[in-house]
Structure 1
Amino acid sequence: MEDFRLESVLLVGSDHKVGLGLVQQFLRLPHPPQQIFATCRCPDGPEGQVLKDTACRCSSHSALVLLELDVTDPDSIKEAAKKVKEHVAGQGLNLLINNADVTFETTLDSENAQTMAAVYATNTIGPMQVCQVFLPLLKTAAWRSQRRGMSCSKAAIVNMSSRCGSLSVVDGWERKQDVGYRCSKAALNMLTRCQARSYSFWNILCISIHPGGMNTQLGAEQAAGS
């Protein structure tokens, strides 16, 4: 990790599980990003307190900025992008990580339009809207970079998917069906492929990854690889 360097990273959904872990790991890098933007829906609520505690412990050479961002609210996304733009001051955004997601404990029989629509709004439509709004900042970072090819240190989008979204594996079906969640993650994978096709023109890397399960209370309740 000694050679992994970037100026700015935005972590969407960073108040628990993988998101919070990523914030902490970025701060522990040999060369932490100059700007780490950590978002959650309610910074003033209980879920934002852990990020505030992390910010208080933040080292002086890396700025941790806590932002409000609800991926289902276009106005919230635009407001967050405005604040990020002010902080980066013309440097652009190097890395955007879409980590926010939700799930409901449903089966194929109990799944309905309401729960599936709610899951898609956060897990699939949300990342699409976030990327659309933050694209100009990613383009700026890619244009400014002297690095060849595409990389997270230059300009990149990382969408947190799940093995549950795999069409070929259909992992863990006997344990937990969560139909809406599975479908939303499969759709997120296709969204990532579409972004990769389109955004590669500006040398922006686009990938989706399965981060693995999390041994936390929330992870046990939701059984979601987010």
Structure 2
Amino acid sequence: MGELRVRSALVTGANRGIGLGLVQHLLALPNPPEWVFAGCRDPKGQRAQELQKLSSKHPNLVIVPLEVTDPASIKAAADSVGERLKGSGLNLLINNAAILKMNSLDTETLKDMSQVYTTNSIAPLLLSQAFLPLLKKAAQGSPGSGLSCSKAAIANVSSIGGSITEMYMWETAQCIAYRCSKAALNMLTRCQSMGYREHGILCVALHPGWVQTDMGSSAGHVPPVTVDASAGGMLKVLSSLSEKDTGTFLDWEGNVVPW
């Protein structure tokens, strides 16, 4: 697999965990993107300090205020990114922002399930809708036929927790809303792959592994995969994707994950 080559990329939930790792890896590529947009809820806040440090060293990194559950914030982010790109389009949208509630089948609530669904399933739909004109523009401006991430792509960061076949770690963490939201995100990815193929946009769902983040450690165990390995692996997988891969569900090592 070669290195990912994109002119522009946007990562949501980029202030920590996997999102921050993806931004760091994009900036460290041998041919880094001309623009890396890092979406985060509070760019000036305590939790965005690492991002702020990075942006002071990398003029191609732009921190974009983005609350993924707020349509007005999504529209403002799309407008801001569009202005910066000056008509060239966005090559890669990585829908990474997500939340987890440790609720069981007996303790799941309407409030928590609604919140998790809104962030994990509905937000990627709204973001993809808002950035679709920029993704289309990138696809139209790229030479050659076929689909690839260097042309235009949506990568939805999903989870093996959304696999109906696997029911991964059921005994340890039921996380009902999270599992259901990621299964829904997988279906959204399939729908997007069908609907956006004609526009030259590749769509894929990625399982990042069980990663050593605040979310990954919330079940009380030390996850086996580092942020560095997960982020680097996902970008390698993205670099290798072609038309045959649109609508698939893959892990950070490129293996097919059962639906």
CA contact (8 A) 2:173 2:219 kept: no
**Correspondence for 1:219:** 216
1:123 aligns with 2:136: no
**Correspondence for 1:158:** 155
**Correspondence for 2:96:** 99
Counterpart code for 1:215 = Q
Greater alpha carbon shift after TM alignment, 39-48 vs 124-133: 39-48
SS of alignment partner, residue 115 of structure 2: helix
**Correspondence for 1:145:** 142
Superimposed CA distance per residue, residues 31-80 of structure 1 (whole angstroms, 9 cap, x where no aligned partner): 0000000011111111111100111122x5xx000011011000000000
Superimposed CA distance per residue, residues 143-169 of structure 1 (whole angstroms, 9 cap, x where no aligned partner): 010032101100000000000000100
Distance 1:3 1:212, change over 3 A: closer
Counterpart code for 2:121 = T
CA contact (8 A) 1:17 1:219 kept: no
State the alpha-carbon separation in 2 of the partners of residues 207 and 201 from structure 1: 15
- In structure 1, runs of 5+ residues without a counterpart are none
- In structure 2, runs of 5+ residues without a counterpart are 231-259
**Correspondence for 1:12:** 12
* Correspondence list, 1:20-169, <5 A: 20-58=20-58, 63-169=60-166
CA contact (8 A) 1:104 1:222 kept: no
Counterpart code for 1:25 = H
Distance 1:135 1:222, change over 3 A: farther
Distance 1:213 1:3, change over 3 A: closer
State the alpha-carbon separation in 1 of the partners of residues 207 and 4 from structure 2: 21
> TM-score with structure 1 length normalisation?
0.94
Identity percentage over the alignment? 49
State the alpha-carbon separation in 1 of the partners of residues 114 and 3 from structure 2: 42
SS of alignment partner, residue 221 of structure 1: coil
**Correspondence for 2:202:** 205
Superimposed CA distance per residue, residues 96-153 of structure 1 (whole angstroms, 9 cap, x where no aligned partner): 0000000111000000111100000000000000000000000000001003210110
CA contact (8 A) 2:3 2:29 kept: no
Distance 1:197 1:20, change over 3 A: same
CA contact (8 A) 2:91 2:152 kept: yes
RMSD: 1.7
> TM-score with structure 2 length normalisation?
0.83
SS of alignment partner, residue 20 of structure 2: helix
Which contiguous aligned blocks of 4+ residues in structure 1 show a shift greater than 3 angstroms? 222-226
State the alpha-carbon separation in 2 of the partners of residues 97 and 74 from structure 1: 17
Count how many residue pairs are aligned between Structure 1 and Structure 2. Answer: 223
